[in-house]
Structure 1
Amino acid sequence: MKTRILGQQGLSVSAIGLGTMGMTMAYGPSNDTEGIATIRRAYELGVHFFDTAELYGYGKGHNEQLLGTAVKDFRDKVVLATKFGFDMTAKPFGTRFNSRPDNIRKVAENSLRYLQTDYIDVLYQHIPDPDVPIEEVAGVVGDLIQEGKVKYFGLSNTGSRTIRRAHAVTPVSMLQTEYSIFEREIEDNILPTLNELGIGLVPYSPLGRGFLTDAVKPSHEYAEDDMRRFDERWQGDNYIYNLNATGQLRELASVKGISVAELALAWLLHQGENIVPIPGTRSAARVEQNIGSVHVHLSQADLQRINEILPHGSAGSRYPAGMLENFTRD
């Protein structure tokens, strides 16, 4: 597995990571045994960058516990990233934020326990909190770094001004946000800021939540607790447009002897050396396919063809309007 460096602090990680959210939420019924097996297989194949969050366990630590159990025998050989920032007592779930200093510390202590470790490699603010200045958030994480409980500071789902303000207090090593052939909105403003400041990019949902694979189906065929059942990109004319685009991408991938997922991940890797996608999957076979993208070369003609197929990304918003406003607050 090739490696890449995230941030000026020099964090070395595998060129492809693994997102674990879908192992416990958002994509239908889950299976812990399968999740643990997938994480361990990923490690055997060279993946050593794993992503989780307090949110992914519905505030009960389920996802972090699963990841901690999976990697406990090789903890010192992997990079574990987790996140804080939600009020886990809010109803409906995930509708209120909490990045107050006392909560950051509480979440960090819980994460250390759930992950069965004495340090967190990367601690992200999951989403901006309008009631807590980012300078205060950065200061608390900086203190945790000084105390040895955290190694690197990351931000997620935010914009350029917030990144700059945080970075002036505690160096930001990476931004995690959605970026893929389907989602291109960060290219105009955020990517130039990251490049200027030497901050790495960790794209989540790099496969369009599964649309950029060989297993896409209409929204009504997903389980009631699967977020794709309500995603605009799976609805009506949006679905038809996106399905047609994915079919064209699949044709290009077929010519190169690879899957459309490998094509999509290779496209991301070609956007910059400071980019490390974290595709999520519950399947060990999918992990093997995904890491094949590290060895895919795309010519300028290939890149141009991809841009012709999807010059502005997919049809349909990645989140409902109200939620998207929160996730892009700057």
Structure 2
Amino acid sequence: MKYRTLGDGLVVSALGLGCMPMAGVGGDMYGVAHEAESIATIHRAIDLGVTFFDTAEIYGPYLNEELLGRAIRGRRDGLVIATKFGFRFAPDTSVTGVDSSPANLRRVCDESLRRLGIDTIDLFYQHRVDPAVPIEETVGAMADLVRAGKVRYLGLSEAAPETIRRAAAVHPIAALQSEYSLWERDVEADILPTCRALGIGFVPYSPLGRGFLTGRFATRADLPPGDYRLTDPRYAEGNFERNMRVVAVARGIAARLGVSAAQVALAWLLAQDDAIVPIPGSKRRATLEDSMAAAAVALSVEDLAALDAAAPRGGTAGLRYGNERALAMVRL
């Protein structure tokens, strides 16, 4: 495994592990997960040199942090644990809105520490920007947690450039987590340049296009019944076929290099900037091992150009999300 630095000194593996598919995701949205295999996957990741593990209060809610906490018990040293706050829940744990008030983030921090079984959160993200709370107020309260020793580094997710700049004026921001992949490149216009200018690392989630870029699915019929991606606009009839163009190019490069299409997609991301650390999600050891091998894949200038041409910014067919609520919470 290779290593990279986020912000001012947070050293992490060049690829992290997104734990969201492992537990607590409504309706088994990425297929059924089995706890024993999920924990074995985390242990295998540690054995492979992965140090960066990503979870959140909302995954479950709560169940994902609890699972990660069980998995890292006795193996915490050297790991970078990232989690997120920023939502409000009803008594039945359904999400009722965003909440980045200082009182809520302090509560979440303490409860996340307990669920994870750790003394300090290495990277604490605001999961989504709260329009009702000035970002200066939220980051100021996050900074108090750093001074209290409960948090080491601060992060944002899906924030717009001006929000990022305002946040960084209050306290250094180590990382911005937002969607970025060969089929979602909008951050290249202004968000990535803002992060570079401020020395903020970038953590792409869904770096494999919710599984599309792995080439695993030849048609929509390959998705299991009930899979949420059947409602994803980019997996819709017509869009699916148009979006297969980039998969075909990735497969061609993969065949020549003797690697997988997923590794090609991740290697493309890694080649965009040394401060980019993708977090592909895995719930099985086999997919974990395949993804992590991307750290050793070197794409040529010609390979990168071919992928860029096959997946230009704005060229993916279909909206990013299938509901207005999700779309309304990004780039704020």
Give the TM interval when normalised to the shorter protein.
over 0.9
Residue of structure 1 equivalent to 2:44 = 41
Query: Paired residue for 1:5?
Result: 5
- TM-score normalised by the chain length of structure 2: 0.94
Which structure 2 segments of 5+ residues have no match? none
Counterparts of 1:128 and 1:91 in 2: how far apart (Å)? 23
Aligned to 1:246: 247
| Distance (Å, rounded) in 2 between the aligned partners of 1:329 and 1:265 | 23
Q: Is the Cα contact below 8 Å between 1:127 and 1:326 reproduced in 2?
A: no
The correspondence of residues 147-158 of structure 1 with structure 2, limited to 5 A, is: 147-158=148-159
The separation in 2 between residues aligned to 1:44 and 1:317, in whole angstroms, is 38
Q: Give yes or no for contact 2:217–2:223 (8 Å, CA) kept in 1.
A: no
Matched residue SS, 1:83: strand
1:276-330 deviation digits (Å, cap 9, x = unpaired): 0000011111111111111111111111111111112521122135134433242
Correspondence for 2:317: 315
How many residue pairs were aligned?
327
Corresponding residue number in structure 2 for 1:62: 63
Tell me the equivalent position of 2:22: 23
Deviations 1:1-41 (A, max 9, x none): 11000002x00000010000011213132211111111111
User: Which residue is 1:326 aligned to?
Assistant: 328
CA contact (8 A) 1:27 1:225 kept: no
Residue 264 in structure 1 maps to residue 254 in structure 2? no
* Further displaced range: 139-148 or 214-223: 214-223
Which amino acid counterpart does residue 19 of structure 1 have in structure 2? G
Equivalent-residue separation in structure 2 for 1:155 and 1:164 (angstroms): 11
User: How far is 1:90 from its partner?
Assistant: 8.2
Deviates more, 1:139-148 or 1:302-311: 302-311
Deviation at 1:248, TM superposition (A): 2.5
Matches within 5 A, 1:71-220: 71-89=72-90, 93-216=94-217, 218-219=219-220
Deviations along 1:90-110, one digit per CA (max 9) or x if unpaired, are: 889435111111110111111
Q: Structure 2 vs 1, CA of residues 95 and 300 (structure 1 numbering), >3 Å: closer, same or farther?
A: farther
Q: Output the CA distance in 2 between the equivalents of 1:95 and 1:229.
A: 25
Conserved? CA contact 1:4–1:276, under 8 Å: yes
> Any idea what the Cα deviations from partners look like across 1:89-147, whole Å, max 9, x if unmatched?
28894351111111101111110000001110000000011111100110010000000
- CA distance in structure 2 between the aligned counterparts of 1:53 and 1:92, rounded to whole angstroms: 14
Deviation, 1:74, is 1.2
Question: 1:219 touches 1:230 (CA, 8 Å); kept in 2?
Answer: no
Structure 1 residues 185 and 95: CA distance shift in structure 2, 3 A: farther
Preserved CA contact (<8 Å) 2:206 2:279? yes
For residues 124 and 226 of structure 1, the distance between their equivalents in structure 2, rounded to whole angstroms, comes to 28
CA distance in structure 2 between the partners assigned to 1:274 and 1:202 by the alignment: 8
Structure 1 length normalisation: TM-score? 0.95
SS in structure 2 of the partner of residue 124 of structure 1? strand
| Match in the other structure for 2:305 | 304
What is the alpha-carbon distance in structure 1 between the residues aligned to residue 96 and residue 248 of structure 2?
36
Report the Cα offset of residue 46 of structure 1. 0.7
More divergent stretch after superposition (239-248 vs 35-44): 239-248
Distance in 2 between residues matched to 1:90 and 1:136, nearest whole Å: 27
User: How far, CA to CA, are the matches of 1:231 and 1:117 in structure 2?
Assistant: 36
After superposition, what is the alpha-carbon deviation per residue over 1:70-101, rounded to whole angstroms, capped at 9, x for unaligned? 11111122000000001122889435111111
Structure 2 distance, partners of 1:81, 1:228, is 26
Hey, what's the Cα distance between the residues in 1 that align with 2:164 and 2:290? 33
CA distance in 1, matches of 2:239, 2:76: 43
- Per-residue deviation, residues 251-282 of structure 1 (Å, max 9, x unmatched): 12111211110000000000000000000011
Aligned equivalents of 1:224 and 1:91: distance in 2? 26
In 1, distance between residues paired with 2:99 and 2:204? 23
CA gap of 1:135–1:16, structure 2 versus 1, over 3 A, is same
Aligned twin of 1:289:
290
Contact 1:16 1:278 in 2 (8 A): yes
Q: Secondary structure at the match of 1:208?
A: coil
SS at match of 1:152: strand
| Percentage identity across paired residues of the two chains | 48
